[in-house]
Amino acid sequence: MKPIAIVTDIEGTTSSIRFVKDVLFVYAEQFLPDFIRDHKDERDVARQLRAISDNTGIPYRNTEALIAQLLEWMRADEKVTELKALQGMVWEQGYQRGEYQAHVYPDVPERLQAWLDDGINLYVYSSGSEKAQRLFMRYTNFGDLRLLFAGYFDTNMGAKQEKASYQAIAEWVALAPEDILFLSDIEGELDAAASIGMKTIRVVRPQESDTPIQDIASNHQMVSSFAEIDLEAL
């Protein structure tokens, strides 16, 4: 049965992992320290630094120690909500300066638009902050895609491999889990979504995987492109 809503991951699903790792993460690591030093007393930045201080025990006024903790998390690819919020602020600077465009695979905008035209509500669920997701979709290589989406979910909903996160999303969109399709390249995320009854499809981009799709074991239907997704067959 065709879903009423589709929730999609970004990294490795709509977009290249390489762009996120080699462009966004590198930019954030380069510019985040000075961004923190320059903006630490502004409300939005101070709120995140205060939360990091509370969670780690690092003194709030020890800016350099807070920066060191953020850089340590970045290098370990930790999905810390406060880190993601601050990264989003730094990335906004880069987007606005025209230093890069967010990468989206060519099949994505066309299929998203077709699904939206068919009355399906579209959402993003990513470990990046909601602000970072909106920036990503605003500054893509296919233009501003923000109007395609009815909402954005980040780690405030919970970790992406925890079933409670998907239950929270289902409750937020006011739909039964079986009326929602979740798209991701990560097996554990799909397992968590499926455990509450969501429909799932694993997206295996040939650009992202050295293993042919036919040689990959998965508990979920697999596609290499959004163009291969047949909603009527779910």
pLDDT single digits (tens) 72-84: 999 999 989 999 9
Q: Where in the chain is the domain with CATH 3.40.50.1000?
A: 5-16+103-233
CA 99 vs. chain centroid, Å, equals: 20
Instruction: Look at residue 231 in the predicted model and tell me its pLDDT.
Output: 97
Under a CB-based contact definition with an 8 Å cutoff, are residues 151 and 35 in contact? no
Strand partners, 184: 202
This prediction has a pTM of: 0.89
Per-residue pLDDT of 41-58, as tens digits, reads 999 999 999 999 999 999
What span, in angstroms and rounded, lies between the C-alpha atoms of 40 and 152? 26
Residues 189/160, Cβ–Cβ less than 8 Å:
yes
pLDDT surpasses 90 at 1: no
- pLDDT by residue (tens digit) across 171-228? 999 999 999 999 999 999 999 999 999 999 999 999 998 899 999 999 999 999 999 9
Residue 16: pLDDT over 90: yes
Residue 41 CA to residue 150 CA, distance in Å, equals 33
Please identify which residue in the block is written with the tokens 């699903």.
Answer: 13
Dist CA 7 CA 223 (whole Å): 16
The pLDDT score that the predictor gives to residue 210 is 86
Question: In which residue are the tokens 């320059």 written?
Answer: 38
Class of domain 20-96: mainly alpha
Indicate where the chain has its CATH 1.10.720.60 domain(s): 20-96
By the 10 Å C-beta count (0-12 exposed, 13-18 middle, 19+ buried), 163 is classed as middle
What pLDDT is attached to residue 61? 96
Q: How far apart are CA 154 and CA 127, in angstroms?
A: 5
**Per-residue pLDDT tens digits for 97-140:** 999 999 999 999 999 999 999 999 999 999 988 999 999 999 99
Cβ atoms of 198 and 154 within 8 Å: the answer is no
How many angstroms separate the most distant Cα atoms in the chain? 56
Q: Residues 5-16+103-233: name the CATH superfamily.
A: HAD superfamily/HAD-like (3.40.50.1000)
